[in-house]
Every structure is written in C-alpha cells, then in structure tokens.
C-alpha cells in the first residue's frame, strides 16, 4: 500500500512527463483505484490562456485549485481599464471566482474605455412662456424610464404636481454625473429624489437604482397658465471600475 508522507520542505509536483519512445508527453493526472472506481490524487499544472479578443496576452501554468483570475501577464492597455475576465469571447459577464481545474482554460479580458460616455440628453424647447422638455438620446443599456417631462396648470388657481422616474445601472462605471435643465412659466419647483435643482444644476454622483422626479407648479391667476418643464440635460458615466 502506498504511504502518505508529510514534510514541511516538500512542494507539490506541478509537472511530470512520461517517455513515449520518440519524446515526452506531459502527465496530466494521477489516479488510484479504490472500491471499484478511480480517484484522482494528483494533477499537474493547468494551462490557462489569457486573451484580449483574439489577441493572446499570455499563458500561465496554474496549480489545480489555485486562482486563475490574477495572472502575472501584462494586462495594461492604453486608454482602457481592465474590468475583469470572462470565459466566453464576446460575453459581458464578469467571472468573479475561478480556480484552475486541471484542464486547459481560456479567459478573455473585459476592458472599459477610460473616455466618459453620455447615456442621456435632453433640452428645454418651445417659447419662454410655454416651455417643454424634449428628450434627446437615451442609452437603454444603462438607463430606462422617463428622464424629463412637464407639469402645467391652465386657467386655474392652485398647485399641480407630477412624478416620474428612471432607473440607472452604472455597470462598469464608478461615477454618474447629472446636469439638469429647467424652464418655467410661473412658480415651479423641481426635485430629484427630494433634492431641489434648478437650470444647469449638477449632481456630481448618483447611485445605480431608481430615481424619482417631482415637478410642482403654482398658478396664481385664473386668466393665464403656469408650466414647469424639467429633466436631464446630460447624464455622463466615468471612472471605470478596475479589477482588483
């Protein structure tokens, strides 16, 4: 019967080769036969190939059971930040935990451009006495819902309120900056998540999730109208999240 041996000076055998008569082949694994089945008791290093698209960044041999997501191969790319790795070329799904399996593995780098991207725009249009919010672009990969609107009160004295919302997913970016636009006829108050803003106000960083606009307008004269048109002028994502 084979005996196990323990010694603090021993290191795991990562590679082994067998002669074929014409050369050597790498020995991938070792097994013992127990109770009618073969049980793996040793495996050699796993070859892990790291790609950027179709470009090979490098290959490392990693012992089975060890992390493969932090290679020593160079991952620097001018103008880009490494977000992490995926095991399928073209996939956007980042793998957060992965260990060497004993079989060859291929991983693909996920890079994010360092250039900020604008995912929503809008503007105030129409005459000054009858403003309107007009949406521009909206990248639904990052933002969905209503990014602007108006509330009005025609030929009535009183107050009117409108609420609407959008949902933001910053994904690979750490910062989302919002600039607002606002046009009013009469007395109007505009809020995002209960925080008041005016025309060209800037919120430096909002979180991923659902955000609610509340637009209010007051009309003091029954012979005229009041309008509050407000929304996102621009929403920009920046500061790509780096792989750690």
Nearest alpha carbon to residue 149 among 183, 196, 175, 200: 183
Q: What is the pLDDT of residue 138?
A: 97
Per-residue pLDDT tens digits for 37-68: 866 555 668 999 999 999 999 999 999 889 99
C-alpha–C-alpha distance, residues 190 and 181, integer Å? 10
Task: Give the CATH architecture of domain 46-113.
Answer: Sandwich (2.60)
How is residue 53 annotated by DSSP? T
> One fold for both 46-113 and 117-240?
yes
C-alpha–C-alpha distance, residues 137 and 8, integer Å? 64
Q: What is the pLDDT of residue 2?
A: 46
What are the helix (H) ranges across the chain? none
**What are the boundaries of each domain within the chain?**
12-44, 46-113, 117-240
Helices (H), strands (E): how many in the chain?
0, 19
Q: Are strands 117-125 and 225-240 parallel, antiparallel or unpaired?
A: antiparallel
Our CA dihedral for 141, 142, 144, 150, rounded to 10 degrees, sits at -130
Nearest alpha carbon to residue 125 among 236, 233, 235, 234: 233
Model pTM?
A: 0.80
Task: Give the CATH architecture of domain 117-240.
Answer: Sandwich (2.60)
- Ranges 42-51, 156-165, 195-204: which has the least confidence: 42-51
Q: Is residue 28 predicted with pLDDT exceeding 80?
A: no
C-alpha–C-alpha distance, residues 124 and 35, integer Å? 78
Residue pair 74/57 in contact by the 8 Å Cβ criterion: yes
C-alpha–C-alpha distance, residues 67 and 97, integer Å? 8
């Amino acid at each position: 019967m084979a005996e196990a041996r323990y010694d603090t000076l021993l290191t795991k055998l990562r590679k082994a080769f067998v002669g074929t008569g014409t050369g050597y082949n790498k020995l991938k694994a070792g097994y013992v036969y127990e109770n009618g089945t073969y049980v793996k008791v040793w495996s050699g290093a796993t070859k892990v190939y790291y790609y950027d698209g179709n470009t090979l960044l490098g290959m490392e041999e990693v012992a089975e059971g060890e992390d493969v997501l932090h290679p020593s191969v160079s991952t620097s790319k001018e103008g880009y930040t490494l977000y992490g790795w995926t095991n399928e070329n073209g996939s956007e799904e980042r793998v957060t935990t992965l260990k060497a399996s004993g079989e060859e593995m291929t991983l693909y780098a996920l890079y994010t451009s360092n250039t900020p991207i604008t995912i929503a725009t809008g503007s105030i249009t129409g005459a000054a006495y009858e403003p309107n919010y007009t949406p521009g672009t909206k990248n639904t990969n990052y933002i969905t819902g209503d990014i602007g609107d108006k509330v009005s009160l025609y030929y009535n004295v009183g107050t009117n309120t409108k609420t609407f919302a959008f949902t933001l997913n910053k994904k690979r970016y750490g910062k989302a900056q919002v600039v607002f636009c606002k046009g009013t006829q009469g007395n109007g108050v505009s809020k995002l998540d209960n925080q008041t803003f005016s025309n060209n106000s800037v919120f430096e960083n909002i979180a991923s999730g659902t955000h609610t606009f509340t637009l209010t307008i007051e009309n003091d004269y029954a012979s005229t109208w009041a309008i509050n048109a407000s929304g996102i002028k621009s929403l920009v994502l920046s500061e790509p999240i780096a792989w750690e």
